[in-house]
Amino acid sequence: MGIVKISDELHDEIREASTVMSRSINSQAEFWIKIGRLAERNPTLTFTEIITAEMTRVKSQQTKGN
């Protein structure tokens, strides 16, 4: 685990979003980082398509684990 320095403004935005989404500040930041990484790797996909693809991937992994 590492420390990432971010601006106070971004930290405030993360705090607000984490409250709305019922996540911890760290979980909200991790979610945004992950979605951003996936969006950069898949620039033609929409947010909804990225979420759907991740849900499919997780379900597939869970099926293989059972």
23, 29 contact by CB (below 8 A) = no
Confidence (pLDDT) at 27: 96
The per-residue pLDDT for range 35-47, each reduced to its tens digit, is: 999 999 999 999 9
Other C-beta atoms within 10 Å of 28: how many? 20
Task: Report yes or no: 54 and 38 within 8 Å, Cβ to Cβ.
Answer: yes
pLDDT in tens, 17-27: 999 999 999 99
Note whether 58 and 43 are within 8 A (CB): no
Query: Per the structure block, which two tokens stand in for 21?
Result: 């989404």
- pTM of the predicted model over 0.75: yes
What's the pLDDT at 66? 65
